[in-house]
């Protein structure tokens, strides 16, 4: 009997569990129901290195792509991915598979583009992207 790869396992859990993000290694599985980039920032803040992990994510925009690069993820499946996110992951040599590619990620109420993707659109460095993402989140929190 052939065993599932970590990526196949992550995709299966994502599609069956109603989660937003799943990462799997040979010895560990982490699941999240948090929306957007929240789980990625949590793992970054916990100083996790995910070089042995495969990820399955509902939506991957350019901001999330940079966070996955900083987390050193091995490979990614995205239900929906933006063209800029795909290009960034390709540039860093991270294998990507996806169901749907879109030009840009829309915001949650579909009135414009994702604020995180917009915040990193002109950035081409993961560390600068992280700073821009944290600044944007702080700004959004203060605007509520």
Burial of 48 (0-12, 13-18, 19+ CB in 10 A): middle
- Decide if 114 is inside a domain: yes
pTM: 0.94
- Decide if 1 is inside a domain: no
What's the domain count of the chain? Answer: 1
Task: Report the run of H or E that residue 129 belongs to, with start and end.
Answer: helix 126-143
- Decide if 78 is inside a domain: yes
Looking at the DSSP bridge assignments, the partners of residue 97 are 77
So what's the pLDDT on residue 32?
95
Which of 16-20, 112-116, 121-125, 140-144 has the weakest average pLDDT? 140-144
So what's the pLDDT on residue 49?
81
Residue 2: pLDDT band (50, 70, 90) is low
pLDDT digits (tens, 9 = 90+) for 51-108: 999 999 999 999 999 999 999 999 999 999 999 999 999 999 999 999 999 999 998 8
CB 117 within 8 A of CB 61: yes
| Average pLDDT for 117-121 | 94
- Decide if 33 is inside a domain: yes
pLDDT at 1 over 60: no
Query: What is the token pair recorded at 51?
Result: 């070089």
- Decide if 24 is inside a domain: yes
Looking at the DSSP bridge assignments, the partners of residue 32 are 21
Place of tokens 């350019």: 62
pLDDT digits (tens, 9 = 90+) for 13-65: 999 988 999 999 999 999 999 988 999 999 999 998 899 999 999 999 999 99
- Decide if 29 is inside a domain: yes
Work out the number of other CB atoms within 10 angstroms of the CB of residue 54: 22
CATH, residue 60: 3.40.140.30
CA-to-CA separations, 94 to 27, 72, 142, in angstroms, rounded: 21, 9, 34
So what's the pLDDT on residue 3?
79
Place of tokens 């992951």: 89
- Decide if 46 is inside a domain: yes
Domain span at 15? 6-143
């Amino acid at each position: 009997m052939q065993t599932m790869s970590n990526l196949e396992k992550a995709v299966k859990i994502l599609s069956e569990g109603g989660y937003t993000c799943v990462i799997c290694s040979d010895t560990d599985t982490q699941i999240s129901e948090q929306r957007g980039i929240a789980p990625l920032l949590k793992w970054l803040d916990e100083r996790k290195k995910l070089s042995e992990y495969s990820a399955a994510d509902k939506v991957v925009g350019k901001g999330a792509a940079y966070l996955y690069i900083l987390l050193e993820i091995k490979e990614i499946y995205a239900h929906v991915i933006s063209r800029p996110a795909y290009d960034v992951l390709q540039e860093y040599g991270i294998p990507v598979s996806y169901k749907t590619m879109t030009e840009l990620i829309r915001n949650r109420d579909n009135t414009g583009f994702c604020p995180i993707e917009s915040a990193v659109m002109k950035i081409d460095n993961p560390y600068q992207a992280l700073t821009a993402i944290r600044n944007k989140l702080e700004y959004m929190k203060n605007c509520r």
